[in-house]
A and B are shown apart, each in its own frame.
Chain A
Amino acid sequence: HYAFAQSARKITGKVIDDKDLQPIPGAIIKVKGTSEAVSTNTDGEFTIQAKTGDVLVISFLGYIERSVTVGAGNAYNIKLAETEKSLEEVVVIGYGVQKKKLNTGANLQVKGEDIQKQNTTNVLQALQGQTPGVQITSVSGQPGDALSVIIRGKGTISGSGPLYVVDGVQTGDISYLNPADIESVDVLKDGASAAIYGSQSANGVVLVTTKGGKSGQKSQITFDAYFGQQRLANQARLLNSKEYATIMNEAAINSGKQPYFTNDGISSMGTGTNWLGQMFVDQAPTQNYSFGASGGSDVSSYSASLAYTSQQGIVGGKDLSNYERYNIRINSDHKLYKDIVTLGENLTFAYVNNNGIGVGNQYNNTLRNAFNTSPFVQMYDEDGNFFDNSNSDWNNGEANPYAQMYYNNQNRNNNQRLLGNLYLGVEPIKGLRFRTSLGLDYTASEGRSYLPIYKLSIYSFNDNTNVFQGMNKGRALTWDNQVNYSFKLNSYNNFEVMAGTSAYSTDGSGVNASNKDLSMTGLDYAWLDNATNSEGARMSTGGYPYAQQKRMSYFGRVMYNYKEKYLLNATFRADGSSILAPGHRWNFFPSVSGGWVMTNEDFMKNTSWLNFLKLRASWGRTGNQNISPYQYLAPITSSNTNYTFGNAEGTLTPGAYPSRLNNENLTWETSEQSDIGFDATVLNNKLTINADFYIKTTKDWLIQAPILASAGADAPFINGGNVKNSGVELALTYRNHAGSLNYSIGVNGAYNKNKVGAIPTADGIIHGNTNSLYNNSGEFYRAENGMPIGYFWGLKTNGVFQTEEEVNAYKNKNGQKIQPTAQPGDVRYVDYNGDGSIDANDKTMIGNPNPDFTYGFNLAADYKGFDISLQASGVVGNEIVQSWRNQADSKANYSAAILDRWHGAGSSYTTPRVTEDNRNWTQFSDLYIHKGDYLRINNLTLGYDFGTLAKKSYLSKVRLYCSVLNLYTFTSYNGMDPEIGYGEGFSQGVDLGYYPRPRTIMLGANIKF
Chain B
Amino acid sequence: CTNDFLDTQMKTGSSEENFYKTTDDAYKALVGCYDGLQVVWASGISLPVAAEVMSDNTFGGTGNSDGFGYQMIDEFDKGRSPSDQDLFGDNWSAYYKAVYRCNMFIGKMDQIDWKGNTDLKNTYLAETRFLRAYLYFDMVRLWGNIPLLTAPSSENVPQASPEEVYKLIAEDLKFAADNLPAVAYGAQSVANHGRVTKYAAEALIGRVYLYYTGYYGKPDLAGVVAKVDALAYQEDIINNGGYGLVDKFEYLWPYSLNNYAGEDNKETIFAIKYTYTSDYNGNTDGNHWMVMNGIREQWSYPYGNGWGACTVDPKLWAAYSDKDTRRAGSIISIAGEGINFTNQSKQREYTGLYQKKYIPLVDAAGNSIAVSSGGVNFMVGQFQDYVSIRYADVLLMAAELGSSKAQKYFDDVRKRAYGSNFVSVAVNAANLLNERRLEFAGEGIRYWDLLRQGVDVAAATIAQTTDVLNGGIKTTKTINSANITTTKGLQQIPNTQITLSNGVLKQNAGW
Contact = CB atoms under 8 A, between A and B. Distances in A.
A7 interface: no
B17 to A, nearest CB: 7
B277 interface: yes
Contacts of B19: 636, 656, 658
Contact of B16 (A643, A645, A658, A821): A658
A550 B281 contact: no
Nearest to A252: B471
A646 B374 contact: no
B500 A650 contact: no
Interface in B491-505: 494-497, 499-502, 504
A708 B500 contact: yes
Given A550-B6, A658-B19, A641 B194 contact: no
B10 interface: yes
Nearest to B31: A655
Interface in A533-561: 535, 537-538, 540, 544-545, 547-552
B500 A713 contact: no
Interface string B1-24: 011011111111111110100000
B64 interface: yes
Contact of A647 (B28, B65, B264): B264
Interface SS majority for chain A: loop
A656 B65 contact: no
Please indicate which of the listed interface residues A711, A763, A839, A923 has the most CB atoms of chain B within 10 Å of its own CB. Answer: A711
Interface string A710-733: 111100000000000000000000
Contacts of B3: 576, 582, 585
Contacts of A922: 67, 83
B13 A638 contact: yes
Nearest to B37: A643
Given A535-B374, A552-B5, A709-B93, A644 B31 contact: no
A653 B275 CA distance: 12
Nearest to B105: A657
B437 interface: no
Contacts of B96: 709-712
Given A662-B16, A711-B100, A629 B8 contact: yes
Interface in A549-605: 549-552, 576-578, 582, 585
Nearest to B278: A640
A505 to B, nearest CB: 8
B15 A644 contact: no
Contacts of A243: none
Given A643-B194, A646-B192, A540 B281 contact: yes
B500 A762 contact: yes
A840 B500 contact: no
Contacts of B227: none
Interface in A769-822: 770, 776, 778, 821
Given A762-B500, A763-B502, A656 B32 contact: yes
Interface stretch (B146-154, B215-223, B407-415, B446-454): B146-154
B83 A657 contact: no
B157 A655 contact: no
A636 B374 contact: no
A662 B18 CA distance: 14
Interface string A633-677: 111111111111111011111111110011000000000000000
Contacts of B373: 649-650
Contact of A655 (B7, B30, B156, B497): B30
Given A582-B3, A658-B104, A633 B191 contact: no
B193 interface: yes
B14 A636 contact: yes
A916 B147 contact: no
A713 B193 contact: no
B10 A635 contact: yes
A644 B285 contact: yes
B485 interface: no
A397 interface: yes
A634 B83 contact: no
A836 B344 CA distance: 38
Interface string B278-319: 000111110000000000010000000100000000000000
A646 B190 contact: yes
A776 B495 CA distance: 16
Contacts of B350: none
B429 interface: no
A691 B473 CA distance: 68
A713 B285 CA distance: 19
Interface string A879-892: 00000000011110
B220 to A, nearest CB: 28
Contact of B34 (A550, A551, A655): A655
Interface in B477-511: 494-497, 499-502, 504
Contact of B83 (A637, A642, A778): A778
B247 interface: no
A135 B298 CA distance: 51
B10 A654 contact: no
B92 A709 contact: yes
B67 A776 contact: yes
Contacts of B59: none
Given A629-B8, A639-B282, A652-B277, A762 B502 contact: yes
A434 interface: no
A657 B190 contact: no
Contacts of A645: 191-195, 273
Interface string A447-471: 0000000000010000100000000
B70 to A, nearest CB: 13
A545 B11 contact: yes
A706 interface: yes
A931 interface: no
A712 B100 contact: yes
A328 B157 CA distance: 61
B233 to A, nearest CB: 24
A684 interface: no
A642 B79 CA distance: 40
Interface in A415-474: 458, 463
Contacts of B82: 838-839
Contacts of B38: 643
A918 B97 CA distance: 35
A526 B81 CA distance: 47
B501 A762 contact: yes
A256 interface: yes
A761 interface: yes
A646 B504 CA distance: 43
B100 A550 contact: no
Contact of A630 (B15, B276, B277, B374): B15
B33 interface: yes
A653 B497 CA distance: 33
B433 interface: no
Contacts of A767: 496, 499
A488 interface: no
Contacts of B153: 710-711
A635 B13 contact: yes
A891 B9 CA distance: 53
B66 interface: yes
A917 interface: yes
Interface in B374-427: 374, 383
Closest 4 CB pairs of A and B: A712-B100, A655-B31, A762-B502, A890-B65
9 contacts: A537-B276, A582-B7, A635-B15, A642-B277, A644-B274, A647-B262, A709-B96, A778-B83, A918-B65
Interface of A: 255-257, 396-397, 458, 463, 503, 535, 537-538, 540, 544-545, 547-552, 576-578, 582, 585, 629-630, 633-647, 649-658, 661-662, 706-713, 761-763, 765, 767, 770, 776, 778, 821, 838-840, 888-891, 916-918, 922-923
Given A645-B195, A661-B154, 15 more contacts: A396-B297, A551-B6, A635-B14, A636-B14, A641-B32, A643-B35, A655-B28, A655-B29, A655-B34, A708-B500, A710-B157, A711-B154, A712-B104, A712-B149, A762-B504
